[in-house]
Amino acid sequence: MADRTWSGRVLDLASVVLPGVRRVRAQKIPFAHAWSEANQKALTSGKPLWVALGDSMTQGIGARTVSGGWVPRLEARLADRFAVVNLSTSGARIADVVDDQLPRMLTLPAAPALVTVLVGANDMLTPARRRGVEKRFTDLLDRLPAGRSVVATLPHGNAAANAVNALLDASAASSRIHVADMRGPALGPLRGSLADDWFHPNDVGYTRIADIFEGPVHAAASFRSGA
């Protein structure tokens, strides 16, 4: 709790001092409302459900509009194949996906045909947050639907991120999940790809994330259809 309070105070101060941080933080509520409305439409669409789990990057925070995030961009490339139910929340950590988002997914009227997970950046912010991250990610992987889930690796180079990525690689090798690999040069140069807060992606950055997810999502969709 102390770590969460400390980080919140730092962001509050930064939003006062730095206009770019304030502009990006101001997207949180309207983007959440937009996804809530879109989710209701998705649930009555009759299409197979794509459930998106994660943090502010799955909300699309930092893009010019909510449609500029990686989820809407990839949804458009999939030619309206799925209806997206976005259960992500800004500021979410791995434990929030396990304790809140996954239980909400289980209450949906139909089981998801596809699940994507992009989370962990907020767990990497401080050494205190990184403690226990491997165990939390193990819990997350154990609860995902086998073969139908695409999980992003962590681009960070610290020991905690490396341990999580090793878990993902092992899970992918056993065909439980598909990996969207964000390590190394996958995300491209930071210059020109970050929003005004210098933390979240902008439209360029989200296009790159959609590129990374596209192949594994097609693989997960093929697994589902038996192709």
pTM score, whole prediction: 0.90
pLDDT in tens, 84-128: 999 999 999 999 999 999 999 999 999 999 999 999 999 999 999
Decide if 140 contacts 98 (C-beta within 8 A).
yes
Question: What φ, ψ does residue 171 adopt, rounded to 5°?
Answer: -65, -35
Spell out the domain ranges in the chain.
2-225
Residue 35 CB contacts under 8 Å (≥ 6 apart), including other chains: 59, 66, 86, 88
Between residues 226 and 133, which one has the greater pLDDT? 133
CB 139 within 8 A of CB 102: no
> At 89, is the secondary structure helix, strand, or coil?
coil
Pairwise CA distance, residues 190 & 29, whole Å:
26
Q: What is the CATH number of domain 2-225?
A: 3.40.50.1110
Burial class (CB within 10 angstroms; exposed 0-12, middle 13-18, buried 19+) of 153: buried
Which residues are 117's β-sheet partners? 53, 151
Kindly report, residue by residue over 127-177, the tens digit of the pLDDT.
999 999 999 999 999 999 999 999 999 998 899 999 999 999 999 999 999
